[in-house]
Copies of this chain bind each other. A is one copy, B any other.
Amino acid sequence: MGDPADQLDDYTSDCRARVAFEVLANRWDSVVVFTIAAYGPMRPTALLTRIGGISPKVLNDALRRLEYNGLMERRPYPEVPPRVDYALTEAGNALLEPMQAMGAWASRYADAVLDAQERFEVREAYTRPGAARRRRISLPGNAE
């Protein structure tokens, strides 16, 4: 864990390291993983209320994608009414620690990011009046 170049071939040749970011690249995937890591296997409805602000369809998309990527296991029970829950796989569990490292970075630098966006927009408005809007990072307190 010293020289960044140690992992560099992972990017320039076959980019293996990128896999870690791609499996969490979508908006809700990391939220779902983290929630289940914190509370254990959960049913979709529980996730809906626990997370908040996510629709059933989008949650289902996320769960299937996580299953597809091997981070989550779907566990259906042969009952009626239907019951299912989702649990982390070994790979999903192993991802938790790196995710916490990213989270620690965020709690330290999230304000810096938002400030940078703010200053960038001011600067751009001055030098390029007609500039296209950029994609801000959307936080609940951030909503327009």
Q: List residues of chain A with CB under 8 Å of any chain B CB.
A: 1, 3-5, 7-8, 10-27, 30-31, 34-35, 37-39, 50-52, 65, 67-70, 89-91, 94-110, 112-113, 115-117, 120, 134-135, 137, 139-141
A94→B103 contact, CB < 8 A: no
Number of copies: 2
Overall SS of chain A's interface? helix
A13 to B20 CA separation, bound complex (whole angstroms): 25
Which residues of B sit under 8 angstroms from A95, Cβ to Cβ? Answer: 105, 109
Contact between B113 and A23, CB atoms less than 8 A apart: yes
- Assess whether A14 is in contact with B107, with CB atoms less than 8 Å apart: no
> Which residues of chain B have C-beta atoms less than 8 A from A12's C-beta?
35, 50-52
